[in-house]
């Protein structure tokens, strides 16, 4: 019972139950299956805003069976992401991962680099005998340019199970790659910041300039020292 003397608005607020974010489901995938799509895959990317390393895309083909515990990778702690990624690999009909390297991000621009990485992820699915009839892509922008095969879902990584699964696989795969790179470039702490502009990363860039896996045409490079690397004078500028 609400305390005496409270206002009607406050009493209504006190009656409300806290809302919980729903888990991602197979609702969208089942819509596609019912419409005749036999192979449906979810796609998500990681590394778009990083200043170093590749952009990574994962494609996951789900079975018609729910998988509990999977969330958008940003909602999971690192240890939970590792567990979730392992569960996805056991659960999925197929998983493909593709990368576009830092040099391709520079040369092509981010949209085209994403398309290249996604193409490689889809090629990995094709090698497993899986050619998607329908692709569910997180976000509003269809960078794949594959016509009616693609359906975009805003916040798909939080609501569509195959997309959430792809976000986890992409994140864990790229994090592990950047941890390996950290052994070669210890000053930048890639094992913790994964190439994103964390304070320790910025300090290292100010002190040492970029290393060989930094994206050299990004606009943040303009004011940095370049003690040991050459930067093309006509490099195109691609904002993060």
Q: Give 11-69 pLDDT, tens digit per residue.
A: 555 455 445 557 899 999 999 999 999 999 999 999 999 999 999 999 999 999 999 98
Adjacent-strand bridge partners of 214: 52
Count: domains in the chain: 1
Q: Is residue 215 part of a domain?
A: no
Q: Is residue 16 part of a domain?
A: no
Is the pLDDT reported for residue 233 higher than 50? no
pTM comes to: 0.84
pLDDT of residue 180: 97
Q: How far apart are CA 144 and CA 130, in angstroms?
A: 18
In this structure, what token pair is assigned to residue 219?
């606009």
pLDDT band for position 218 (50/70/90)? confident
Q: What is the mean pLDDT of residues 148-166?
A: 95
Instruction: Choose among 145, 157, 166: nearest CA to 98.
Output: 166
pLDDT tens across 97-129, in order?
999 999 999 999 999 999 999 999 999 999 999
pLDDT of residue 78: 85
Contact between 170 and 45 (Cβ < 8 Å): yes
Q: Is residue 199 part of a domain?
A: no
pLDDT of residue 72: 75
In this structure, what token pair is assigned to residue 30?
């089942």
Q: Is residue 195 part of a domain?
A: no
Average pLDDT, the chain: 87
Q: How far apart are CA 13 and CA 89, in angstroms?
A: 43
Q: Is residue 37 part of a domain?
A: yes
pLDDT band for position 209 (50/70/90)? confident
Q: What is the mean pLDDT of residues 230-239?
A: 42
Is the pLDDT reported for residue 195 higher than 50? yes
Q: Is residue 128 part of a domain?
A: yes
pLDDT of residue 3: 43
Q: What is the mean pLDDT of residues 159-170?
A: 96
Is the pLDDT reported for residue 132 higher than 70? yes
Better pLDDT: 45 or 77:
45
Strand 94-100, strand 40-46: pairing = unpaired
Domain range for residue 100?
A: 27-175
In this structure, what token pair is assigned to residue 122?
């889809």
pLDDT of residue 80: 87
User: What is the DSSP annotation of the chain?
Assistant: -PPTT--HHHHHHHHPPPP-PPPPBSHHHHHHHHTT-SSEEEEEEE-TT-SBS-EEEEEEE--SS--TT---GGGS-HHHHHHHHHHHHHH-SEEEEEEE-HHHHHHH-HHHHHHHHHHHHHHHHHHTT---SEEEEESS---S--GGGEEEETTHHHHBHHHHHHHHHHHHHHHHHHHHHHHH-GGG-HHHHTTS--HHHHHHHHHH---TTB-TTSGGGGGS--SS----TTPPP---
Instruction: Give me the CATH number covering residue 40.
Output: 3.30.420.10
Q: Is residue 171 part of a domain?
A: yes
Q: Is residue 17 part of a domain?
A: no
pLDDT of residue 237: 37
Adjacent-strand bridge partners of 150: 135
């Amino acid at each position: 019972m609400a305390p005496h003397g409270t206002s009607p608005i406050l009493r209504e607020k006190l009656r409300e139950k806290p809302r919980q974010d729903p888990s991602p489901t197979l609702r969208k995938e089942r819509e596609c299956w019912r419409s005749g799509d036999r192979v449906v895959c979810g796609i998500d990317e990681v590394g778009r805003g990083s200043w170093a390393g590749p952009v990574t895309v994962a494609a996951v083909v789900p079975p018609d069976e729910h998988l509990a515990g999977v969330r958008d990778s940003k909602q999971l702690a690192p240890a939970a992401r590792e567990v979730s990624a392992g569960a996805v690999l056991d659960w999925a009909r197929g998983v493909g991962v593709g990368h576009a390297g830092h040099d391709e991000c520079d040369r092509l621009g981010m949209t085209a680099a994403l398309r290249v990485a996604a193409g490689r992820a889809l090629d990995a699915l094709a090698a497993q005998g899986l050619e998607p009839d329908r692709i569910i892509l997180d976000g509003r922008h269809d960078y794949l340019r594959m016509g009616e095969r693609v359906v975009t879902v805003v916040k798909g990584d939080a609501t569509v199970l195959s997309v959430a699964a792809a976000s986890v696989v992409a994140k864990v795969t790229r994090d592990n790659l950047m941890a390996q790179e950290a052994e070669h470039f210890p000053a930048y702490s890639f094992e913790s910041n994964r190439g994103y502009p964390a304070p320790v990363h910025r300090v290292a860039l100010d002190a040492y300039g970029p290393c060989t896996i930094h994206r050299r045409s990004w606009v943040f490079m303009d004011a940095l020292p370049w003690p040991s690397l050459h930067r093309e004078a006509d490099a195109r500028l691609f904002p993060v």
